[in-house]
Amino acid sequence: MDVLTPRSLDEALRLKTEHPDAVPIAGGTDLMVALNFDRERPGVILNLGEVPELRGWSRDDGLLRIGAGLTYAEAMAEPLRSLLPALAEASRTVGSPQIRNRGTLGGNLGTASPAGDSLPPLLVEDAEVEVASLGGSRRIALHEFLVGPKQNALAPEELIVAVLVRPSGAPQTFMKVGPRNAMVIAVCSLAVAVDRERGELRAAFGSAGPVPLLVIAPLAEADGFPALVASAASPIDDVRGTAAYRRHALRVLAVRGLERCLAA
């Protein structure tokens, strides 16, 4: 296995064009498991740890631009925590402190797992993904970026650069079901927001279909919303849980989430 370590975004994009098969690594919390178990054997990895443009976040006229290298620990810190509360709650459920110090939002997007914890809260907030190649950058709505289980809309010569989101300010929460409260891949998860300004109930589930999915209903339809969320899911039976359990759990989480958000 060979490594490429670019020192700027421009250099990273040039290298990705020259070596489209190079596998990007940031926090490594997904990729290293695959390497240690010999499930993946990339010829070249692209070490993104030294690219300053991917770090931190900025705000321009209400639009947050969150670098792909933002860690879960950083997403849990103020003021991001207050701007995107459900994302902070989801980050709190990722792995353990050591994993949250390394794992990044860009990595969660790159892996595009149906169980990616940051994805439901970002869907609820209508986030976009900024990707770039030498030819320029483009923005992709998150629901279009997630195309299948562990598949995203990234072209081989592109890199994930940032997440763009305009915080709604709506009461919101995130819940995750698992056998313990740490080091767990979600059996299922749900982000819920009650957006009175838009007049919408919004929920996005994880681990209950090929991709995390956003479900929207008018504010007045709170009573039927949990059933709507459960019916929008297309879960499967697997090692972590059954399809029937996941559907049931989503209904329960939706009730609970609405209670929390409507009380706020």
Partner 1 sequence: MPEPVSEQTISVEINGETYEQEVEARKLLVHFIRDVVDLTGTHVGCDTGNCGACTVLMDGKTIKSCMLLAIQADGATITTVEGLAAGGELTPLQRAFSASHALQCGYCTPGMLLSAAYLLEQNPHPSEEEIRRGIQGNICRCTGYVNIVEAIKSVAEGGGA
Query: What residue ranges bind partner 1 (CB under 8 A)?
Result: 1-6, 11, 14-15, 18-19, 22, 25, 27-29, 32-33, 35-37, 43-45, 47, 49-50, 73, 95-99, 101-102, 181-183
Q: Output the smallest distance, CB 163 to partner 1, in A.
A: 22
Partner residues linked to 209 by β-bridges = none
Task: Give the separation between CA 30 and CA 110, rounded to whole angstroms.
Answer: 10
107 vs 226 by CB, closer to partner 1: 107
32 vs 264 by CB, closer to partner 1: 32
Partner residues linked to 49 by β-bridges = none
18 vs 237 by CB, closer to partner 1: 18
113 vs 168 by CB, closer to partner 1: 113
Q: Output the smallest distance, CB 139 to partner 1, in A.
A: 27
Return the residue matching tokens 């975004």: 9
DSSP class per residue in 211-232: S-EEEEEEGGGTTTHHHHHHHH
Q: Output the smallest distance, CB 133 to partner 1, in A.
A: 16
Q: Mention every residue, 6+ apart, whose C-beta is less than 8 A from residue 233.
A: 188, 205, 208, 209, 213, 246, 247, 250
Q: Output the smallest distance, CB 114 to partner 1, in A.
A: 20
105 vs 146 by CB, closer to partner 1: 105
* Spatial contact of 119 and 212, defined as CB atoms under 8 Å apart: yes
H helices present in the chain, as ranges: 9-18, 31-36, 72-75, 80-83, 85-92, 97-100, 105-111, 119-124, 142-145, 225-232, 243-263
16 vs 247 by CB, closer to partner 1: 16
Task: Give the separation between CA 90 and CA 108, rounded to whole angstroms.
Answer: 12
Q: Output the smallest distance, CB 227 to partner 1, in A.
A: 34
Q: Output the smallest distance, CB 124 to partner 1, in A.
A: 25
